Amino acid sequence: MLSSYLCLFSQPDSFIGGVAPVEDDTFLLFRKYSNVKIPRYRMPGERLTVRGTSDIGRFPGAAPPTRVELTIHHQGEKKQEEGGCRRWFRKMCPCCCKRQNSTSYDVTDKVEFTKPPTPAPVIMEKESDETKLSVCSVDLLSSKTGQNRQEHHTDLYHGDDLIIRRGQTFQMELELNRPFNADTDKLHLDMKTGSLPMVSKGTHAIIPLVEHLEDLRWEAKIVQENGNKVKLSVNSPSTAVVGLYGLSVTTSSLKGEDATTHNSSKNIVMLFNPWCEEDSVFLDDEEERKEYVLNDTGRLYYGTEKQIGSRTWNFGQFHEGILEACLFILEKSDMPPSGQGDPVNVVRVVSAMINAQDDLGVLVGNWSGDYSDGVSPAAWSSSVEILRKYHSTNGTPVSYGQCWVFSGVTTTVLRCLGIPARSVTNFQSAHDTDVSLTTDVYFDVNMEPIDHLNSDSVWNFHVWNDCWMARPDLPPGNGGWQAVDSTPQETSQGTFRCGPASVNAIRTGQVYLKHDTPFVFAEVNSDKIYWQRNLDGTFSQIHSEKKAVGHCISTKAVGSDERADITHLYKHQEGSEEERIAVETASRYGTKPDVYSTPMAEDVSVEVKMEGEGPRMGADAQLSILVKNMSSQPRRTTLHSQVAVMYYTGVLRNAIKKEQIPVDLLPNEEKTIEWVLPYQQYQNQLVDQAALMLTLSGRVNETQQVLANQTSFRLRTPDLNITPVGEAIVGKEMAAKITFTNPLPRTLKGVVFRVEGLGLQKGHEVVVGDVGGHSTVTLTEHFIPTQPGPRKLVASLDCKQLTQVHGVADIVVVEQ
């Protein structure tokens, strides 16, 4: 007979199951506080489970738990005599090792319960019946046909990873081990990017669970619950770092118990968002977004200005492996991940990384004509093979490229990352090597070219890129298209790169604005200056060509394969006074500031003034232009004025009025010119924030002094008038009247009021609908104050035709 003696306790964690082999195959299970140390042993195939129903014995000082003695006799086994080891155990612990009954049974299960002494009362904390919350799985809902990819315009990317754009909500589903209880459970998400994620650097986002989502922040909300599954809507800020994120979900209880974390097996890719108004790459034209972000093919232009050729280029930004290659480029650049939220930084890094001149970038430039150990630049027709080859070889530069190849690959990378981009060709493109902002040709005294000085050149054509973004780092008006050039020509801050340079700054000659604006200005609008050496070694200017460079600047048209001429974006009309002013303004910041005649005097000033708080929406905009002659001689000039619609980010949309204003000034005269923009001219042109920029430029005839002024202003919108009604007492109903008068002679569509007051009432929306021209709306809000003290009731109005309309009322609430 094989017999086992098991000493069992009602709580499994009240003992350690140590089983000691004995001479007669008897096994004893001892409590954890036994002083007898024996090796742990369990019979092969034998399992023992004990489920307790009592808390006694879990706490120090409690009485011993109920003990269960179980004897099992197996049929066919011969009963053994009591061995010496067993006798020793019986002496040591007689209560556990009682002598067995000699009666033999085929199968005997004898259970003897020994009731312990009544324990002293012990106050214990009741164990929670609820299972600790944990996450079983995470579904990122990343299917190309799913809501996330469709709404984020990322359904064209290859694969089923979750690819999203910042500043926009996305969904995910969590499967939990039990239903989520908002009263007792806590949950938050962590998204991390980079090798050393830090909250302070924006590379570690802690995403809390909230009841209401708000814009411009990381947060999550439960939008659906079904048993153990919850669906979250997650919001990201429009400034979030772009790149590859890891996701984890942490759960805990409100009691502060240990948290559990589940790491998602899939990563999340975050991109720039041209569809998000708060993103600095926002582009408000859907057709342009389709062209400059979603179109994966295009046209590149080459040849000469009189014989313009074109070729199709496959950008392939959604092709398999391209997104991974673009993220690899950012990683290899050694740019800190915290810098990947700023498109200016990203574009500047991409410009450097597309060429391999000094940083083992994507393409090796070669203009030698010998491409035997690589691919001829003219043979490429796609960015896909180049980028995939670079990625698959862990960053080995690909041979070879020239300007159109660099530009095509740059377009691919920027569009892939979500930055609107296009390839641009400039015919008769200058290469200024000495930052003179002129293209210089030197001759000796005999009119022979001095070759070692003639480093400047004019290319038949050169291809670079435009990319679209706001430029908060520059003065207002310089957002929009930015020139960026990945072809290695000159270094910028020690690295072969160029841009982003504001196209508007290039056009106006503001070459002191970063990045690399002087170089691009010279490419499109430098004069060709001829110099001859004098006998004393100095040089004199003998001739200049003012229309030598920057012709037929071209890009593919939106929505078609036609060529669009965008020269007017880069420069004023050739030979116009505005164009000459831009050239001469730029030259003052070059290495030859005296190339153009210096004004004999600077005694005329121009400034713009506005009355009171400025023009109001719905009425003609009136400004005053003050021109002063501070000399004792008469002065004459012509002011060129242009007013353009401007986004609040400083991006100019389009000009809505241009005019020329002749000004004649007597000695020491001040003249005020009333400038008017009729409502009819701007009523259909305004964008969000209703901002405008007036640009003035001119030249004083007598002194050649250049006059320039830029003034940004907005059309003021009416305030909401909020009047409290009744006494403000805690717990007592009161009211407030909100009055609004439409300042426009047109109907406002879909007007919505939003009202909120902390300690007064919760935020909510009131849908008003259409409001006729010059009509007045009065809304009465009833509410019960809940907190005493000074409070503010805030209201705002929103509709497509009118924004930034709001009001506030100060209310002092007293106790009853």
Instruction: Name the β-bridge partners of 188.
Output: 208, 250
Active site residue 594: no
Ligand-binding annotation for 82, yes or no, is no
Cβ(407)–Cβ(423) under 8 Å?
yes
| Residue 468 to residue 521: CA distance in whole angstroms | 18
Task: Tell how strand 748-757 and strand 734-741 pair up.
Answer: unpaired
Q: Please, are residues 736 and 781 in contact by the beta-carbon 8 Å criterion?
A: yes
**CA atoms within 13 A of residue 398's CA, in its CB half-sphere:** 25
E strand or H helix that includes residue 421: strand 421-431
Q: In 291-450, which ranges are continuous DSSP H helix?
A: 322-332, 343-353, 384-392, 403-417
Region of 648 please: left (phi>0), alpha (psi -120 to 50) or beta: alpha
Dist. CA 269–CA 248, nearest whole Å? 14
CB of 713 closer than 8 Å to CB of 690: no
Q: Is 485 a catalytic residue?
A: yes
Name the active-site residue from 456, 485, 516, 603: 485
Q: H or E element: which one contains 142?
A: none
Distance of CA 679 to the CA centre of its chain: 37
Helix, strand, or coil here: 294?
helix
- Which of 7, 276, 403, 467 does the annotation list as catalytic? 403
Sole residue written with tokens 């106006």: 508
Contacting residues for 280 by C-beta, under 8 A, at least 6 apart: 238, 239, 342, 343, 469, 470, 472, 649
3-state secondary structure of 29: strand
Q: Do 475 and 281 touch, CB atoms closer than 8 A? A: no
Q: How many residues can be counted in the chain?
A: 816
Q: Which of 319, 535, 519 is nearest to 439 (CA)?
A: 519
Task: Please state the φ and ψ torsions of residue 563, each to the nearest 5 degrees.
Answer: -85, 130
Among candidates 609, 577, 607, which has minimal Cα distance to 706? Answer: 577
Within 10 A of 426 (CB to CB), how many other CB atoms are there?
27
Q: Rounded distance, CA 694 to CA 645, Å?
A: 9
Q: CB under 8 Å to 150, separation ≥6 — which residues?
A: none
* Count of C-beta atoms within a 10 Å radius of residue 146: 15
Q: Which of 47, 12, 49 is nearest to 32 (CA)?
A: 12
Residue with tokens 């700023």: 342
- Catalytic: 774? no
The SS3 assignment for 390 reads helix
Residue 766 structure tokens: 């009131």
579 assigned ligand-binding residue: yes
Rounded-to-integer distance, Cα 701 and Cα 695, Å: 20
CA atoms within 13 A on the CB side of 30: 18
Burial class from Cβ neighbours inside 10 Å (0-12, 13-18, 19+) for residue 300 reads: buried
Of residues 476, 507, 516, 472, the one with CA closest to residue 348: 516
Q: Provide the annotated binding site for Ca(2+).
A: 525, 527, 574, 579
Mark the binding-site residues, compressed into ranges: 525, 527, 574, 579
Report the catalytic residues: 403, 462, 485
